[in-house]
């Protein structure tokens, strides 16, 4: 499995995405400073682009209150093989 974790500026996890049955279906290395500026990335000279295919996805969202304290979680998943 591959996990992608998103955190707030103060390092609180709010979203975790787990992919199962993952393959890299394409990879690009982009070295095109002007082209990257046109898509809103003026501060980089190069970028990498991955496309992932997967058979199952699970997402878990954790809410936080105004003080940053973690609250409840909501999870959802889908198996693309089983439907």
Backbone phi and psi for residue 69, each to the nearest 5 degrees, phi listed first: -70, 130
CA-nearest of 25, 9, 22, 20 to 64 is 9
pLDDT at residue number 16? 97
pLDDT at residue number 5? 96
pLDDT at residue number 32? 67
What pLDDT tens digit does each residue of the chain (83 aa) get? 999 999 988 888 999 999 999 999 999 887 765 666 666 666 667 778 899 999 999 999 999 887 777 788 999 999 999 98
pLDDT at residue number 47? 78
pLDDT at residue number 71? 80
């Amino acid at each position: 499995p591959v996990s992608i974790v998103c955190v707030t500026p103060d390092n609180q996890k709010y979203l975790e995405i787990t992919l199962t049955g993952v393959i890299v279906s394409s990879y690009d290395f982009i070295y095109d400073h002007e082209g990257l500026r046109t898509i809103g990335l003026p501060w980089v000279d190069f970028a990498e682009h991955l496309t992932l295919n997967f058979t199952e996805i699970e997402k878990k969202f954790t809410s936080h209150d105004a003080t940053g304290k973690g609250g409840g979680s909501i999870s959802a998943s889908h198996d693309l093989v089983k439907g």
